Structures are given as C-alpha cells and as structure tokens.
Amino acid sequence: MNSRTKKIGATLLTTAAALIGVPQVPAHSNAVRACQVGYLPDETKFGMLTEQASGPVTVRRVKDGKAVLTVNPGVATEDEDSGDIVRRVDFSALKTPGEYVLDAPGLGSSYPFKIGKDVFAKPFRLAMRAFTGQRASTNVSLAPDFPQFKYEAGHTAPAQYDPSSGKTGTRDVSGGWYDAGDYGRYIVNSGITTGTLLWSYELYGSKLRKVNLNIPESGGKIPDVLDEIKWNLDWMLKMQDEDGGVWHKATTANFPGYIMPKDDKGTVLVIGTGRAPFKNTTATADFAAVAAIAARIYRPFDRAYADRCLDAARSAWEWAEKNPNVLFRNNPQGISTGGYGDSDASDERLWASAELFRTTGEKAYHDAFLAAAPKFHLKGDAAQGWPSVGNMGLYTYVLANRKNADTPTVTRIKSEARQAADEIVKRVGENGYRNPLLPRDYVWGSNAVVGNYGMMLLLAHKIQPNPTYRNTALDSLHYLLGRNTFNTSYVSWVGTKWAMKPHHRPSAADGIDQPWPGLLMGGPNAEGKRPPAKQWEDNQDNYRMNEIAINWNAPLVFVLAGAL
C-alpha cells in the first residue's frame, strides 16, 4: 500500500468514525502546549495555552478520543521571558498510563504525550547515544536504531605538538568525543561533561547498569553507559604530560567547513598556553577531578583501570599544587578554535580536592578542600558550568558521606543546597512555562543552564529528599522537550516537532534532511534583546543559538537519568 492509498484509507476511517459518533482528537493547535514526551504518573503535570479557549480543557486518549479528564485553565498571566500570555492547565490528577492530548475547545489539541513510568527511557537512550555519535578517530554508526547516521573515522593520524605546547614532534591523542558542532576536543569542557555523566551513573547506577546502547563495547563486563564515558576518559588520559600537567586542547588550527570527519585534512595540534609550564591549572584540575571520580566508579569492573585513573588524578593534583593559577586566557598565535579561557582556577582546584577526598579519604586532599571551601557557596541563581565548577566540589563533599568530614562544613553546604533548591522551585512556579531560567540566563547554551538547574534540584533531593525538588527538576525536561514558547523540542528526534538544523557538521554534511538524533540545541541567546526566551532560531549557521555541545547534553542525560 503506497502513502496515497494509506492517506485515503485513513480519511475514510476518520469519516466513518465521525458518522457513528466515535470521539475524535481535534487538529493540532500551536496555542496548546505540553511536554511532547510525557509525564511520570505521580508528578505534577502542566500544559499551557497561549490563547483563550472557549471552555474547559479536555484530556483525551489518543487511541479512541475518549475524554478522561476535564480541567479549567488557570488565569491568564504574562510570561515576561517570552512575552506570551499563558494559561496553565493542571492535569496532575491524571495518573493512568496511556497516550493523550490536551483538547482546548475553540483552539485544537496539543501534540500527543504519554503518561507512564518509562516515558523518559527512550530520550535517555538517544541523549546518551548522541555521545557515540561524537566519537573521534573511529568509524561511527548509530545502527540499529538509525543506520543512516554514520561516518568513517577521521582525525586518526598522530597529532603534532603546536609551538604553544612547549614540545616538538607528535603525540597520540586519538579518541575522545568531538566537543560540539566542530571537531575540536577540549579538556576543560570534557571535564564538566565527563564528571556530570559519571555522577549520573554514580547516583542512578541501579537504573543505568543494564541500559543497552548498542555500542561496539556492548556485552562486556563494563555497563554500556560507562563504556561510552570511557571512550572520552581514555582520550583525556592521553592529554596528560609526564609531569602530571594536562594540555588544554587538541584541535586543528582553524574550524573546518561543513564536512564529515574523514574529510577534515587539517593537522590536529596539541595546544598549550604558549609559555612555561605550557599546561594550565584549570585543565589539569578538571582532569584530576574526573580521574578521581573514574577511579571509584570503574573499580568494581576494572581494578587496573581504576588504579590508572587514580594515579593520573594524584599526579595532576601534584602539578596543580605546584602551579596553582596558570591560566589559559586566549588562543595562542595562529589558533582560532574554541578558547575555553578562564580567569580563575580556584573552583577547579576545589572540585579536584573534593573528588580526591571522596575517593581516598586522605587528609591532604581534605585539608585542601577545607581551606578553599569558605570562598564558595551554592546559590539558586548560579548553576554550574565549564567556567564555574565550584558547585561540583561542594555537592560531592556532602555526597561523599565521609566519617571524617567536617561537620560544620557539611551542615553549611546542606543548608545552602536546600536554600538554592527552594529558590529554584519558587522561580519555576512563577515562570509562565515553568522553566528555571532568570532573564540573564538566556546566554549561549541557555538550554544547558536549564539542565544544570534541574541537576541542582536532583542533587538537593539526594542530599535531603524532597519530592518537590524532583518534580520541579522534571519541569526542566518538559521545557526542553517542547513545553516552551516555540512549541518545539530542543532535542533532535525527541517529541513530535523537534529542532531540525543544528550547527553540527555531520548533520550539515551527510546529505540527510534530518539531524543526528539525541542532540540538545543551545537554545535562546538574548545578547541584550527582548524578550529573551524568543531569541532562538532553528538555523544551522547560527552557532550562537543552535550549536550542540557535549557539556549541554550531559546535564540533559543527568536529569533524564533521575527521571527513569
């Protein structure tokens, strides 16, 4: 049966159903918005109307159009971030698993969504497999789910030391994940990315242990999620010099055009600061933190690898202690790839000391953490990000549950975690689309900020269980997955209407209309324009709004893991 025949058949069935009185799901309306994935049975459930309906909203079952709940929309309020007039539809009373739409009379219906305990399982898998799609130096295929998305290995030759590295010759830095829409690899951004993903497993391992990602390593003794993360860890280990310091990045001198990895013939360079000691403290301390986490997480599966990671973490820490504030501020001469410059290494050192203490319990790391910690505070208006990882150090110190932890410090951090979470909850409750962003948070990669606020809520919930924190963290997912001013899922291949044109070289160069799956777009980037939430376009050339990046997908994975 061809598509035209199917369409005629479907039309006849719809007409027949209408004649015999079977309820129908009305046509979609852009004014009726819901999370395009769905909701857990016991969470709060909101949809939004951006125009006035002519009566109560009905929740209808998709399979037969049956009305299962009727709800009066809330009062109309202006969402200042978007300029939209929003009326909330609270259908939290519906807990029965199934697929539904919101039917607003006089307007139409929302995109379909599901209610069930496993509604976030597929998005988690796609978001995690997006990292597989970023692998460097190897043939990549997203089969069996998406066999059309594949590429041949690129950037396989040994890298050359750039003059800024302080060395000459070549070095094997193959592997790792491409950082974003380009083919660079950066230690600083890999740091928070890999740390966040390792924490996802550490906190939710019972849910993730058996997830099958269909990666080349599947079927081994290491869980697939950890095998995927290990692909990047192995690259990070290659970036550590013999003295313990870690180089900033491995990239070509300039960004390539829209080409596939194997067609990028530029020489990969190991890039440093351009002056002795050539490595830098932010990259080295980020590396120490991540390697320390890896040492404890991989130990049950591969003791030798765990020992290697711990040795690397210790060596990096020693280098950072000797070089406490060597900074990478700007690209060296002749290099124009991502800078990831930072003006302060104290937060990276805090995180490294906390993770090493959590892993080893040793006094030297504990003393270093306690000396640095008074400067840092958890705040509800300051999510973690690659330039600011102090939150990671504070949270992990409490999550460690070490008997020799300092009680006043633990008490202070717990109190701040609760206060920060309460502030985020309040802000979400006041936002028209229930998203956690402040007006100033609509920056390059604002969708990652949404995910990181959700991560803060889940960490607070782990430290001091509060169902409101978890419920509100799920609001971050609902915003990213379609309940927003654009009525669009910012994650490719997730929902009904997803962003189509990411700034992502394989998506642009592979000749396929659809983007690679599981990628979180950067999102609205106001840059002083108003309303801030409207400053987004689905345009592959606009990297300031529609690029993808591994550190943006990582908090998405974390919050999805918390929702499984």
With respect to residue 6, please indicate whether it lies within any of the assigned structural domains: no
Domain boundary among the residues 97, 115, 133 is at: 115
Q: How many residues does the chain have?
A: 564
**Residue 13 has what pLDDT?**
34
**Alpha helices (H) along 152-222:** 187-208
DSSP state of 135: B
Q: Tell me, yes or no, whether 83 and 205 share the same domain.
A: no
With respect to residue 21, please indicate whether it lies within any of the assigned structural domains: no
Listed in sequence order, the residues at least 6 apart from 348 whose beta carbon sits closer than 8 Å to its beta carbon are 191, 281, 282, 285, 286, 289, 320, 342, 389
Q: Any catalytic annotation for residue 311?
A: no
Q: Which domain holds residue 61?
A: 27-115
Q: Is 485 left (phi over 0), alpha (psi -120 to 50) or beta?
A: alpha
532: its two tokens:
């801030």
With respect to residue 11, please indicate whether it lies within any of the assigned structural domains: no
Q: Tell me, yes or no, whether 249 and 267 share the same domain.
A: yes
Q: Tell me, yes or no, whether 110 and 130 share the same domain.
A: no
Is residue 68 classed exposed, middle or buried when 0-12, 13-18 and 19+ CB atoms within 10 A define those classes? middle
Q: Tell me, yes or no, whether 225 and 339 share the same domain.
A: yes
With respect to residue 20, please indicate whether it lies within any of the assigned structural domains: no
pLDDT averages per 10-residue partition of the chain, 564 residues: 34 40 82 98 98 98 98 98 98 98 98 98 98 98 98 98 98 98 98 98 98 98 98 98 98 98 98 98 98 98 98 98 97 97 97 98 98 98 98 98 98 98 98 98 98 98 98 98 98 98 98 98 98 98 98 98 98
With respect to residue 7, please indicate whether it lies within any of the assigned structural domains: no
77: its two tokens:
């309020």
Say which CATH number the domain at 76 has. 2.60.40.10
**Residue 22 has what pLDDT?**
54
Q: Any catalytic annotation for residue 118?
A: no
C-beta neighbour count of 412 within 10 angstroms: 17
Q: Any catalytic annotation for residue 503?
A: yes
Using only the alpha carbons of the chain, give its radius of gyration: 24
165 vs 381: CA distance, rounded Å: 37
Strands (E), 116-165: 140-142, 146-151, 159-161
Q: Tell me, yes or no, whether 146 and 102 share the same domain.
A: no
With respect to residue 1, please indicate whether it lies within any of the assigned structural domains: no
105 vs 397: CA distance, rounded Å: 52
Q: Tell me, yes or no, whether 108 and 215 share the same domain.
A: no
**Residue 4 has what pLDDT?**
30
Q: Are 280 and 330 in contact (CB under 8 A)?
A: no
- 213-251 exposure pattern, b = at least 16 Cβ within 10 A, e = fewer: bebeeeeeebbbbbbbbbbbbebbbbbbbeebbbbbbbb
Ramachandran angles phi, psi of 300, nearest 5°:
-65, -20
Listed in sequence order, the residues at least 6 apart from 42 whose beta carbon sits closer than 8 Å to its beta carbon are 95
Q: Tell me, yes or no, whether 237 and 131 share the same domain.
A: yes
The catalytic position among 182, 241, 348, 475 is 182
Q: Are 231 and 198 in contact (CB under 8 A)?
A: no
Domain boundary among the residues 87, 115, 143 is at: 115
pTM of the model: 0.96
**Residue 1 has what pLDDT?**
36
Q: Is 16 left (phi over 0), alpha (psi -120 to 50) or beta?
A: alpha
Q: Tell me, yes or no, whether 283 and 313 share the same domain.
A: yes
Q: Tell me, yes or no, whether 69 and 141 share the same domain.
A: no
506: its two tokens:
């394989």
**Residue 3 has what pLDDT?**
34
Q: Tell me, yes or no, whether 50 and 143 share the same domain.
A: no
Q: Any catalytic annotation for residue 538?
A: yes
With respect to residue 3, please indicate whether it lies within any of the assigned structural domains: no
With respect to residue 513, please indicate whether it lies within any of the assigned structural domains: yes
The tally of CA atoms less than 13 A away on the side-chain side of residue 122 is 14
- Among the listed residues 223, 277, 192, 218, the one whose alpha carbon sits nearest the alpha carbon of residue 452: 192
Q: Are 91 and 177 in contact (CB under 8 A)?
A: no
Q: Tell me, yes or no, whether 309 and 441 share the same domain.
A: yes
Q: Tell me, yes or no, whether 167 and 313 share the same domain.
A: yes
DSSP state of 193: H
Q: How many domains does the chain have?
A: 2
The tally of CA atoms less than 13 A away on the side-chain side of residue 150 is 11
159: its two tokens:
């890298």
The catalytic position among 366, 461, 503, 504 is 503
Domain boundary among the residues 75, 91, 115 is at: 115
